């Protein structure tokens, strides 16, 4: 929890310093500045899926798996595979939404481990997600929607017939379905 808090706080601080120095001109370089750190801590979040499986924490593994996998799909499939998307301002806003939620959630978890109650932190933990989650989902949807023409143009992550597997996969169609049903 402490490691994740430090990681997300690092991302917010770097983005904040860059924004205060360069204003909106800092947005296109967000992915370059903090993308590697975010990829690392997003992968580490899969520990939250494994902990309930191994009995280290209470709760289920399905909801954390879906949340972490959804973020990682956007981060690794949508952003990492399309360099033109990395420079869009929506990436800045997306990273801010994700990080703000986490810099409240992880300190809350830490205080709960030590059975220490901070009223403001508890209130923030159960309140801040109300505006930030929908805004984060909106940013994720924008990333996916703006990526569809890129994936149609490049055929990246698509598989056309004929091939050895005798199977076809059209990534833009999958993205439309993802937006419709899973997001």
User: Annotated active-site positions, please?
Assistant: 133, 140
Who's near 125: CB < 8 A, 6+ residues apart? 104, 105, 108
18 Cβ contact list (under 8 Å, min separation 6): 26, 29, 30, 33
Q: Is the link from the previous residue into 162 a cis peptide, with omega within 30 of 0?
A: yes
**Which of the 8 DSSP states describes residue 159?**
B
Among 120, 125, 119, 123, which residue's Cα sits nearest to residue 105? 125
Give the list of residues 6+ apart from residue 132 with CB closer than 8 angstroms, or none: 97, 100, 101
């Amino acid at each position: 929890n402490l490691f994740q808090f430090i990681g997300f706080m690092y991302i917010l601080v770097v983005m904040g310093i860059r924004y205060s120095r360069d204003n909106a001109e800092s947005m296109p370089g967000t992915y370059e500045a903090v993308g590697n750190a975010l990829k690392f801590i997003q992968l580490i979040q899969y520990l939250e899926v494994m902990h309930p499986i191994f009995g280290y924490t209470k709760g289920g593994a399905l909801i954390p798996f879906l949340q972490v996998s959804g973020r990682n799909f956007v981060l690794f499939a949508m952003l990492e595979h399309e360099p033109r998307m990395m420079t869009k301002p929506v990436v800045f806003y997306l990273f801010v939404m994700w990080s703000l939620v986490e810099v409240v959630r992880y300190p809350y978890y830490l205080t709960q481990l030590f059975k220490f109650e901070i009223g403001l932190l508890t209130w923030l933990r159960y309140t801040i997600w109300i505006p930030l989650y929908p805004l984060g989902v909106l940013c994720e949807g924008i990333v996916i929607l703006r990526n569809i023409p890129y994936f149609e143009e490049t055929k990246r992550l698509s598989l056309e017939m004929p091939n050895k597997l005798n199977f076809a996969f059209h990534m833009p169609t999958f993205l439309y379905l993802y937006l419709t049903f899973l997001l």
